[in-house]
Each structure stands twice: as structure tokens, then as C-alpha cells.
Amino acid sequence: MKNKCLLPLAASLALALAALSGCGREPTGLGEALQMTMVPVDGYWGGTTSQGQSMSMIVAGDGTSVSSFIIDFRANETWGWADIQATYTAAMAVNASHQFSSGITFFDIRGTFTGNNRADGSFHAEGQINIGGTYYPFSESVTWGAALVRVSGKSPATAAAGGAWVVKASSLDRGR
């Protein structure tokens, strides 16, 4: 015996997929229909790094821009360690593949939206910490995952292109 409830559901799904595809053309498959409609949700996003530290960012412009990227990480080096918070204020454009990047070698952010409310990426930092007038080099890489925390009512204004990094160390330990 056929389940009569499945027929209306299948018809509704077919109509929804046709409507999502646009231009009167039916999508070639469910994957295409979902890909065409995946837009990162504007709002405040937060998550954690592979070190268990926090990170956050703002998505704006109907999912076309990421700004105010803040990440906490621990630089572990032979001279000791430093807890560092880096903030990137510039807007990063989200491309058609749902990816964004800072394009800066010494503080490199890379991210990919894997859904309307999920993103994953990596962060690499290189620099020097000034401890008592002596500069100590560091280099650290972490991965991160973020999810939508709060939806914005209206897209917040995106940061101006060419923004700056703000970097501060919250705790240091030169002993190992």
C-alpha cells in the first residue's frame, strides 16, 4: 500500500526546487538547487580554534562580506609562549565559491562557508613579541570553526577596505 502522504510532499519539493532555480529552468539536481540558494546569514558569528581559543566575525551585505575578524591564539615557541588576540578590521569579500581571505601573508585568514550558518577556516600568524625591550619571533597556525550566533536585523555597515590589524598579547611566559 502506497503512503498517500508522500505524494504531496514530493510535489511540494519539486515545486520548491523549481522556484529556487530561477529563470524557469529546473535545476539539474538537488545539489544544484541547494548550492544556488546557500547564502551566509548576516550577523555575528562565533566559534573556537583548534587550540580551544575563541574567534568571531561579522557577516554582512547579504553574505557577501566578512569583517571584524577576531581570533585568540597561543604562540608556542622555544622562548616560551604568548596568548595573543588579533583583530582584522577590513572587509573581506566572499566569492562565488563562498570563500574569503585576508590576502596578508603574516596574518593570513582563510575561510569557507559550508552552509548558511556554518564556516570553517585557517589562520596563520608570524611576528615578534616585545618583552622587556627584546623582540621574540613567533609563528603559529590554527584552524577554526564558526557558527551563526546572532542574526542582525539589518546588515551592519562593513568595515572600510584596507583596514588594519590590532594585535595584543594578554599573557606571556618566557620560561619553558
Closest to 148 in 3D by CA, of 45, 34, 55: 45
* pLDDT tens digits, 100-125: 999 888 889 999 999 999 999 999 99
Q: Which residues contact 7 (CB under 8 A, 6 or more apart)?
A: none
Q: Are residues 29 and 82 in the same domain?
A: no
Is residue 53 domain-shared with residue 21, that is, in the same domain? no
Q: What is the mean pLDDT of the chain?
A: 77
Same domain, 164 and 126: yes
Rounded Cα–Cα distance for residues 76 and 57 (Å): 24
Q: How confident is the model at residue 6 (pLDDT cuts 50, 70, 90)?
A: very low
Residues 80 and 161 placed together within one structural domain of the fold: yes
Query: Are both 157 and 106 inside the same structural domain?
Result: yes
Q: Are residues 22 and 104 in the same domain?
A: no
Cα separation, 175 vs 173, whole angstroms: 6
SS (H, E, C) 159-171: CCCCCCEEEEEEE
Question: Is the residue at 1 inside a domain?
Answer: no
What range defines the domain where residue 25 resides? Answer: 6-37
Does 63 or 26 have the greater pLDDT score?
63
User: With left for phi above 0 and alpha for psi between -120 and 50, is residue 33 left, alpha or beta?
Assistant: alpha
Regarding whether 27 and 63 lie in a shared domain, the answer is no
The tens digit of pLDDT for each residue in 122-161 reads 999 999 988 889 999 999 999 999 999 988 754 334 333 4
Nearest one of 54, 80, 73 to 149, comparing CA atoms? 54
pLDDT in tens, 52-94: 999 999 999 999 999 999 999 999 998 889 899 999 999 999 9
Q: Rounded mean pLDDT of 20-34?
A: 47
Amino acid at 166: V
Please tell me whether residues 80 and 125 are part of one structural domain: yes
Burial of 9 (0-12, 13-18, 19+ CB in 10 A): exposed
pLDDT the model gives residue 132: 86
The reply to whether 10 and 83 lie within a common domain is no
Give me the mean pLDDT over the 149-174 stretch. Answer: 57
Q: What is the pLDDT of residue 5?
A: 43
Residue 62 is given by DSSP the state T
3-state class (DSSP) for residue 64: coil
Closest Cα to residue 103, out of 69, 152, 153?
69
- Nine-digit cell at 92? 573581506
* Whole-prediction pTM: 0.70
Total domains in the fold of the chain:
2
